[in-house]
Amino acid sequence: MLSFNNQQAQNIKELRADVKFRYLEEIIKDYIKEALTEFIKEQKEAEENKSPLLTIEDIARKFQVTKATVHNWKNKGSIVGKKFGKNRYFTEEEVRKSMAKFGFSKQWENRMDE
């Protein structure tokens, strides 16, 4: 049977904690790398389509509504965007399609051109 003195036992505990921390650190790095790669890909696609990404604030300003209204649209599924970190982004094309799909008049759809 193996036995360890107190110092050896403490060293083993520290080593195990360090290994767990490194593993967690790698998981976080991989997640961030994947999220950034996806965001960059979507940004490039938006640039190629000449469709910049809009924030909730951008949409609220264009449609002259509050940010709470845009959040309500998002929560109801009226508009769908991509989440990156704590922010959500929408393409103009997605917003146009959503506005048409949910019966907003051409007047509303034309606001995207402003």
Q: What is residue 49's predicted lDDT score, i.e. its pLDDT?
A: 67
Please check whether residues 6 and 36 belong to one and the same domain. Answer: yes
Q: What CATH number is attached to the domain comprising 93?
A: 1.10.1660.10
Please check whether residues 44 and 28 belong to one and the same domain. Answer: yes
Please check whether residues 2 and 25 belong to one and the same domain. Answer: yes
DSSP per-residue letters across 23-62: HHHHHHHHHHHHHHHHHHHHHHHHHHTT--EE-HHHHHHH
Q: What is residue 109's predicted lDDT score, i.e. its pLDDT?
A: 52
Band the pLDDT of 113: cuts 50, 70, 90: low
Please check whether residues 72 and 35 belong to one and the same domain. Answer: no
Q: What is residue 1's predicted lDDT score, i.e. its pLDDT?
A: 58
Q: For 59-80, write each residue's pLDDT tens digit.
A: 889 888 899 999 998 898 888 8
Question: Across residues 91-105, what is the average pLDDT?
Answer: 76
Q: What is residue 33's predicted lDDT score, i.e. its pLDDT?
A: 92
Task: Choose between 6 and 3: higher pLDDT.
Answer: 6
Calculate the CA 68 to chain-centre distance: 18
Please check whether residues 55 and 8 belong to one and the same domain. Answer: no
The three-state secondary structure class of 3 is coil
Please check whether residues 25 and 38 belong to one and the same domain. Answer: yes
Q: Count structural domains, the chain.
A: 2
Please check whether residues 24 and 77 belong to one and the same domain. Answer: no
Distance CA 70, CA 78 (A): 9
Please check whether residues 83 and 37 belong to one and the same domain. Answer: no
The three-state secondary structure class of 103 is coil
Decide if pLDDT at 39 tops 80.
Answer: yes
Please check whether residues 37 and 69 belong to one and the same domain. Answer: no
- The range of the structural domain enclosing residue 29 comes to 1-48
